[in-house]
């Protein structure tokens, strides 16, 4: 952290501001008895350490802008989204985060392929187009794994990470009286009812309550959009190798070790 304060003051101060806000939320949650929120705050504090952990473990350098967005993304998803219910109160909050997530994952995937491509010990040499396509595939794989996690969390923990959607029309073979796989359209649904085993009837005004498929598909679609945007930027970056370009601010790089630089300088001098 001392080195980060000297080399990356913007990221350093952003980290401590977000950390302080999380601690305040943790104390507030303890006073009002929301213990699940306290656990979420602890998880957020751990996640905020992940960028620095990856830098030191993998010996890479995260650009300031990328690291700042990762920190803000964690705070926006866990504290604002879950605890402060931005997912509910702000209609497009989840869409914005998933688009950003797709963009960032594509950048990380692109960096991994670029590092492999430029390694002297690697016999693999990927074209810029192949790297761009692979980055999109990497981003979609991470996005799909997250959606699977949400599904299992909803099924086995009893939460609602796959937010439900009210729909006014469905197409289903379930209502086909012939059982011959004929699709039956159901249109203009204005309300629906759920009858429990106890006899209690729950009315759902506004339509039919979809339990996750619309949310999951919307998340994957915006994830794809974010990944495609970065793929275009990454493709242009590989073509020019301009470290001042917009895409370069999102692509992690391998740190140049001082010992290696000195060794190369000495051998060149000989």
Which tens digits make up the pLDDT trace of 135-155?
Answer: 999 999 999 998 998 899 888
> Across the strands, what pairs with 201?
195
Q: How far is CA 229 from the centre of its chain?
A: 15
Tens digit of each residue's pLDDT (9 = 90 or more) over 41-54: 999 999 999 888 88
| Residue 172 parent element (H or E) | strand 170-172
DSSP label of 80? I
- Which of these ranges, 57-66, 181-190, 241-250, 260-269, has the smallest mean pLDDT? 260-269
Q: What are residue 201's phi and psi, to 5 degrees? A: -110, 125
CA distance 40 to 45: 9
3-state helix, strand and coil shares in percent for the chain, rounded to the nearest 5: 65, 10, 25
Q: What is the pLDDT of residue 250?
A: 80
CB 191 within 8 A of CB 204: yes
The model's confidence at residue 101, banded by pLDDT at 50, 70 and 90, is very high
Upper half-sphere CA count for residue 211 (Cβ side, 13 Å): 7
Please name the residue that has the structure tokens 């970065």. Answer: 230
The pTM for the full model equals 0.81
CB 47 within 8 A of CB 78: yes
Q: What is the pLDDT of residue 1?
A: 55
């Amino acid at each position: 952290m001392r080195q980060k304060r000297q080399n990356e003051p913007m990221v350093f101060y952003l980290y401590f501001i977000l950390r302080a806000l999380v601690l305040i939320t943790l104390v507030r949650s303890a006073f009002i008895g929301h213990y699940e929120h306290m656990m979420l705050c602890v998880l957020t504090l751990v996640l905020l350490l992940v960028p620095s952990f990856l830098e030191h473990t993998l010996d890479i350098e995260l650009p300031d802008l990328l690291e700042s967005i990762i920190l803000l993304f964690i705070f926006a998803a866990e504290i604002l989204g879950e605890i402060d219910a931005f997912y509910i109160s702000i209609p497009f909050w989840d869409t914005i985060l998933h688009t950003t997530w797709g963009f960032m994952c594509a950048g990380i995937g692109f960096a991994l392929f670029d590092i492999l491509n430029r390694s002297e010990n690697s016999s693999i040499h990927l074209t810029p187009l192949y790297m761009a396509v692979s980055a999109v595939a990497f981003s979609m794989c991470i996005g799909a794994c997250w959606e699977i996690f949400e599904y299992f969390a909803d099924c086995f923990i009893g939460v609602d990470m796959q937010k439900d959607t009210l729909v006014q029309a469905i197409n289903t073979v379930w209502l086909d009286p012939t059982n011959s796989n004929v699709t039956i359209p159901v249109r203009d649904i204005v309300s629906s009812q759920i009858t429990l085993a106890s006899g209690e009837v729950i009315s759902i005004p506004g339509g039919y309550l979809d339990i996750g498929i619309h949310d999951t598909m919307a998340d994957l679609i915006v994830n794809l959009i974010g990944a495609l945007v970065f793929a275009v930027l990454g493709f242009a970056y590989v073509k020019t190798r301009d470290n001042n370009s917009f895409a370069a601010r999102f692509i992690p790089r391998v740190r140049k070790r001082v010992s290696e630089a000195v060794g190369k300088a000495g051998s060149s001098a000989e």
